[in-house]
Amino acid sequence: MEPTVIDAGSKILKCGYTAAEDGPTVIPTLMKPVPEDESSADASLFENVTVEPVVRGFVRDWEAMEDLLEHALYSGLGWEIGNEGNILFTEPLATPKAVREQLVQMMFENFNISGFYASEQAVLSLYAVGRISGCTVDIGHGKMDIASVIEGAVHHISSRRFEVGGLDLTNLFAKELGKSNPLVNISMSDVEKLKEQYACCAEDIGAYERVQQSCPEEQHTLPDGQVIKIGREKYTVGEALFQPSILGLEAHGIVEQLVGCISTVPTENHRQLLENTVLCGGTASMTGFEGRFQKEASLCSSAIRPSLVKPPEYMPDNLLNYSAWVGGAILAKVVFPQNQHVTKADYDETGPSIVHRKCF
């Protein structure tokens, strides 16, 4: 059986066999709890409740995570009990040791897998575009990771994790829409869909300031029939990544953050890193984001400016959304045949701590 690759984000989980030509299967990470007795009167209490197995990129609810993986692997991918194979997990930047150990323990003891490997998302996203050194700017649902990778290993001193992501931009969009449409009650699920449809980045700060003064408004009919107007708000979402003060944060914009991180790396590595910058995560596919990023990069004061790597033509158009999974599929075809992974015998002999020796 082909190895399986799992990339579990705060919003969606990507899973699939390494040979999957159409990319991974994508399912929501958020779950609805199942009451012990679905026919009981208490069952209605769960209708509007969601469980979050992954929060800000890290697993927080292990029981829910086990349920989610069981569904993804056995129902989604057709795993058979007693015939479980090898699995590779992607890891966000700065994953705590305890989380790594609990994950490998769950996979061997609860899922009875034959082999395990884990690798950091930054490394895998670079593999997806044919690089082993460079920078990644990964904007997920619950976090943003800026990482530098040298010869296939994350340089942690010059990498930073920010607990800001698509979720915070959705909340910002909801707030802005509420100001423009004070009499309309918009659900967060509708706000999320509206953000995906309308949110964009202005070409530069001057263009942003102009649309704040004067911007054509569009009317949008919500599923319940309410009509709202959307104008300058759609630009505020993208601008917050370049002006974090919009979110109430005292921080530099995303390009300045990247350059600042790389400044802590030895000078001889600056060009190799900045000229191989990869954007990833669903938020990075926002209309106008790549163009704005390049515009800001051309204006930065750094002697060497960030330059974006274009994905190879053979890669899917939506590679940004699951580049870590694609890189994981590439790596899995190497580590498992060459026995570089954690085997069941390794785990039985050493326990969960083996993950730190074999997956680094």
Q: What is the pLDDT of residues 199-258, one digit of tens each?
A: 999 999 999 999 999 999 999 999 999 999 999 999 999 999 999 999 999 999 999 999
Q: With a cut of 90, say whether residue 53 has pLDDT above it.
A: yes
Euclidean distance between CA atoms 53 and 60, whole angstroms: 6
Indicate the CATH number for domain 166-244: 3.90.640.10
Q: Where in the chain is the domain with CATH 3.30.420.40?
A: 4-127+317-358, 128-164+251-299
CATH architecture of 4-127+317-358: 2-Layer Sandwich (3.30)
Structure tokens at 357: 């020796």
Q: Which residues contact 169 (CB under 8 A, 6 or more apart)?
A: 195, 199, 237, 240, 241, 283
Quote helix, strand, coil % in the chain, to nearest 5: 45, 20, 40
pLDDT of amino acid 45: 43
Q: What secondary structure does DSSP assign to 179-238, as a single string? A: HH-TT----HHHHHHHHHHH-B--SSHHHHHHHHHS---EEEE-TTS-EEEESTHHHHHH
What CATH topology corresponds to 128-164+251-299? Nucleotidyltransferase; domain 5 (3.30.420)
- Residue 126, amino acid: L
Structure tokens belonging to residue 277: 């910058």
Q: In terms of C-beta density within 10 A (0-12 exposed, 13-18 middle, 19 or more buried), how is residue 270 classed?
A: middle
Backbone angles phi, psi at 248, to 5 degrees: 80, 20
What does the alpha-carbon distance between residue 341 and residue 346 come to, in Å, rounded to a whole number? 9
Residue 183 has pLDDT above 80, yes or no: yes
- Closest by alpha carbon to 88, among 59, 126, 115? 115
pLDDT tens figures, 302-357? 888 999 998 877 777 777 789 999 999 999 999 999 999 999 999 999 999 999 99
In this prediction, residues 179-206 reach a mean pLDDT of 95
What is d(CA 259, CA 256) in angstroms, rounded to the nearest whole number?
5
Q: What is the mean pLDDT of the chain?
A: 92
- Outline where the chain has alpha helix (H): 62-70, 97-109, 121-128, 166-180, 188-198, 205-213, 233-242, 254-262, 270-274, 289-299, 323-335, 344-350, 354-358
Q: Where in the chain is the domain with CATH 3.90.640.10?
A: 166-244
User: pLDDT class for 20, splitting at 50, 70, 90?
Assistant: confident
CA 139 to chain CA centroid, nearest Å: 6
